[in-house]
Amino acid sequence: MSTRPRDNRHPLEHRFSGEHPLRTLLYLYRGQRRQLAIASLCFVVKHSPVWLMPAITANIVDLVSRPGLHSPGELWVNALVLLVILAQNIPLHYAYARSLSRAARTTETQLRSALCRRLQHLSIGYYARQSAGVLQTKVLRDVEAVEQLTRVLFDGGLACLVNIVFALVITGLRQPWFLLYFLVTVPAAAAIVYTLRRPLAARNAAFREEIERMSTRVIEMTHLLPVTRAHGLESTALARVGESLERVQAAALHVDGINAVFGALSWATFNGFNMLCLIVSAWACLARWLPLGAGDVVLLTTYFGLITGSVLGLVGTLPQLTRGLESIRSIGEVLQCPDLEDNEDKAAVTAVEGEFSFENVSFVYPGSALAALHDFSLEVPPGETIALVGPSGAGKSTVLNLVIGFIRPTGGRILIDGRDMQAHDLRTYRRFLAVVPQESILFDGTVRDNVTYGLRGVPAEAVVAAVRDANAWDFVSQMPAGLDTPVGEKGARLSGGQKQRLAIARALIRNPRVLILDEATSALDTETEALIQEALARLMRGRTTFVVAHRLSTIRNARRIVVLDQGRLAEIGSHEHLVRSGGLYARLHSRQAGVEFTQ
């Protein structure tokens, strides 16, 4: 099942570098243009009551104020128009909401899937630099912000635009001179009201920060609960949270006060300007400066309010707008990140014997001055077990990561069955590989799901056999639903030793040619330890195994032990040979002679 190269290059990823996020937004919606056009059209029509009603009101006021009304015909025409524009609002609003939602939700899903896909292709180094939390935020929150940005642009932005355009056009048609008045007063009114509202925004932001701080504290408290309770530190924990709760209260009081003052001030100013427009237009009518009727006075005042309100609405959406654009950038960082695992167009691996040759392999971590592995050469025939030992930081995990292909040599090369690893699609090679990490990684599913992760149609007998061979059957068969018992989030319902055995079962069922083992350092009781050792021995039999060994029993079972020191191969040989030669291994061994043989 070799992945086609096309699959990896999602079209979204090319559009982010150096481009304005608004253009990117347009690009993201390129497949939804039809839906968006329908949505826009429906919006303009369904929104017509807002910008037409003032004109109709003006007509009716004119009718009423005209001396000597003869026939009510005109009134009925106006009433009919009103009825029609109100009635069309319901179906068209539905059509608008549906089209917009379809466009926004489709794009949202595409973005999330593009991000998840990308995360599966980035190099392992990328995850070391980016915290899981940041990546989660990108897939969940940032995409949501983009979706909301679309809604803000339509519900808010388009409404404002339509209001302003139609209000200006109708005013222009009825009283072109009054446009001049709008030109001066609308910006002035909007600027003053905006200035009055600004402290509100700042205060609200400060308040929100306090809320966020509080939620961090509460989350921290819940995580620490077992530690807190175990040490009787309840009051300390409560004090930490309590302080934050009080700060939120203080900030809330402050913000409520500010809201009351500035909210009222801006409301009064806004309406003051409206009334000013009413007075000015009435004055212009009375003084006969402009040929204004009673209807015009109503129309101008209503449109003034509508335009000013729309301008303010537009300004009000700015924070959401910037947040949305920021999210587009943040998503772009992942989608355009060049740190991909280099697998494209490389040959697929169809079989692995398990012979490895390391030829003068060096590895320097990016940004690091010293080589984590230096001039490392080793021949490993198929089926041999190589135990890696050495002090902390010697380069043991680096060797394992090179074998998995998570990192590629910065010098020298690694041959698998005589072929350069560099020339192959590592995803296909890894199907012949099983990794048992130091910390067993289980997910929230049943025992069976965890053991057969990634494999389909595994017969029940095979699962049972693997679980048996991993010495896990004893406890699995005693679980309430056997293989179908949920293990809890991260395997929380299992003990450390049980998790390790399930991880071994997971490796066994894959029947790998190459085995990567990072032995757990955690000490287990001797009986469990013996069970795990036995299961591991079964797992390692006949497979090329690289094991970072901490346990003497594992080390004794290895035909050769590779002793690393500061990235160099210091010694190599069997346990007895190395103890006899009295080098680094002998020193490490004598220091820790016991059951455990840790670094």
Closest of 516, 547, 536 to residue 388, by C-alpha? 547
Closest of 161, 179, 474, 529 to residue 314, by C-alpha? 161
What is the rounded CA–CA span in Å between residue 569 and residue 490? Answer: 36
CA 537 to chain centre: 40
Q: How far is the CB of 335 from ligand ATP (least distance, A)?
A: 23
Identity of the residue, 332 or 390, whose beta carbon is nearer to ligand ATP in the bound complex: 390
362 is an interface residue for Mg ion by CB under 5 A = no
Cβ-contact 563, 570 below 8 angstroms: yes
From residue 345 to residue 364, the character string flagging contacts with ligand ATP as x (rule: CB under 6 A) and all else as - is --------------------
Closest of 445, 441, 439 to residue 487, by C-alpha? 445
Closest of 273, 279, 290, 283 to residue 176, by C-alpha? 290
Identity of the residue, 192 or 523, whose beta carbon is nearer to ligand ATP in the bound complex: 523
365 is an interface residue for ligand ATP by CB under 6 A = yes
Q: How far is the CB of 374 from ligand ATP (least distance, A)?
A: 11
397 is an interface residue for Mg ion by CB under 5 A = yes
| Sole window of 258-266, 313-321, 394-402, 465-473 interacting with ligand ATP (rule: CB under 6 A) | 394-402
526 is an interface residue for ligand ATP by CB under 6 A = no
Tell me the two tokens of residue 425. 């699609």
Strands 560-565 and 385-389: parallel
Of 157, 295, 395, 497, which one interacts with ligand ATP (CB under 6 A)? 395
Q: How far is the CB of 235 from Mg ion (least distance, A)?
A: 39
316 binds, among Mg ion, ligand ATP, none (CB under 5 to 8 A by kind): none
Q: How far is the CB of 37 from ligand ATP (least distance, A)?
A: 49
Identity of the residue, 397 or 410, whose beta carbon is nearer to Mg ion in the bound complex: 397
| Sole window of 259-267, 332-340, 392-400, 468-476 interacting with ligand ATP (rule: CB under 6 A) | 392-400
| Sole window of 62-70, 260-268, 322-330, 393-401 interacting with ligand ATP (rule: CB under 6 A) | 393-401
From residue 83 to residue 122, the character string flagging contacts with ligand ATP as x (rule: CB under 6 A) and all else as - is ----------------------------------------
598 is an interface residue for Mg ion by CB under 5 A = no
Q: How far is the CB of 583 from ligand ATP (least distance, A)?
A: 17
Q: How far is the CB of 549 from ligand ATP (least distance, A)?
A: 11
Of 396, 501, 513, 551, which one interacts with ligand ATP (CB under 6 A)? 396
Identity of the residue, 365 or 475, whose beta carbon is nearer to ligand ATP in the bound complex: 365
Would you mind telling me the total number of residues written for the chain in this entry? 599
What is the rounded CA–CA span in Å between residue 214 and residue 217? Answer: 5
Chain position carrying tokens 């910006």: 187
Identity of the residue, 245 or 364, whose beta carbon is nearer to ligand ATP in the bound complex: 364
128 is an interface residue for ligand ATP by CB under 6 A = yes
Identity of the residue, 123 or 599, whose beta carbon is nearer to ligand ATP in the bound complex: 599
Q: How far is the CB of 433 from ligand ATP (least distance, A)?
A: 18
Q: How far is the CB of 128 from ligand ATP (least distance, A)?
A: 5
| Sole window of 1-9, 65-73, 388-396, 410-418 interacting with ligand ATP (rule: CB under 6 A) | 388-396
392 is an interface residue for ligand ATP by CB under 6 A = yes
| Sole window of 28-36, 161-169, 182-190, 389-397 interacting with Mg ion (rule: CB under 5 A) | 389-397
Q: How far is the CB of 391 from ligand ATP (least distance, A)?
A: 7
Query: Edge-to-edge, what's the strand order for the sheet holding 411-416?
Result: 373-380, 356-363, 411-416, 419-420
3-class DSSP assignment, residue 122: strand
Chain position carrying tokens 């961090």: 216
Of 266, 398, 500, 545, which one interacts with ligand ATP (CB under 6 A)? 398
CA distances in angstroms from 52 to 45, 79, 82, 360, listed in the order given: 11, 12, 8, 80
What is the rounded CA–CA span in Å between residue 209 and residue 580? Answer: 64
- For the chain, state the CA radius of gyration: 36
Identity of the residue, 123 or 397, whose beta carbon is nearer to Mg ion in the bound complex: 397
Of 156, 393, 437, 573, which one interacts with ligand ATP (CB under 6 A)? 393
Tell me the two tokens of residue 233. 């530190």
Identity of the residue, 190 or 400, whose beta carbon is nearer to Mg ion in the bound complex: 400
Identity of the residue, 397 or 446, whose beta carbon is nearer to Mg ion in the bound complex: 397
What is the rounded CA–CA span in Å between residue 572 and residue 578? Answer: 7
Chain position carrying tokens 């289980």: 442
Tell me the two tokens of residue 458. 């595994």
CA 445 to chain centre: 22
Of 280, 372, 402, 502, which one interacts with ligand ATP (CB under 6 A)? 372
What is the rounded CA–CA span in Å between residue 531 and residue 537? Answer: 10
Nearest 5 degrees, angle CA 145-CA 146-CA 147?
90
Closest of 572, 543, 547 to residue 381, by C-alpha? 543
Any bridge partners for residue 561, and if so which? Answer: 387, 573
Q: How far is the CB of 122 from ligand ATP (least distance, A)?
A: 14
What is the rounded CA–CA span in Å between residue 69 and residue 374? Answer: 102
Tell me the two tokens of residue 431. 């199907």
What is the rounded CA–CA span in Å between residue 457 and residue 181? Answer: 76
Nearest 5 degrees, angle CA 18-CA 20-CA 25?
120
Of 185, 397, 446, 528, which one interacts with ligand ATP (CB under 6 A)? 397
71 binds, among Mg ion, ligand ATP, none (CB under 5 to 8 A by kind): none
Any bridge partners for residue 385, and if so which? Answer: 545
89 binds, among ligand ATP, Mg ion, none (CB under 5 to 8 A by kind): none
Q: Where is 373: in which H helix or E strand? A: strand 373-380
Q: How far is the CB of 368 from ligand ATP (least distance, A)?
A: 5
394 is an interface residue for ligand ATP by CB under 6 A = yes
599 binds, among ligand ATP, Mg ion, none (CB under 5 to 8 A by kind): ligand ATP
What is the rounded CA–CA span in Å between residue 553 and residue 519? Answer: 12
Residue partners of 238: CB distance under 8 A and separation at least 6: none
What is the rounded CA–CA span in Å between residue 323 and residue 333? Answer: 15
599 is an interface residue for ligand ATP by CB under 6 A = yes
Which positions touch ligand ATP (CB under 6 A)? 128, 365, 368, 372, 390, 392-398, 599
- Which residues are at the interface with Mg ion (CB under 5 A)? 397
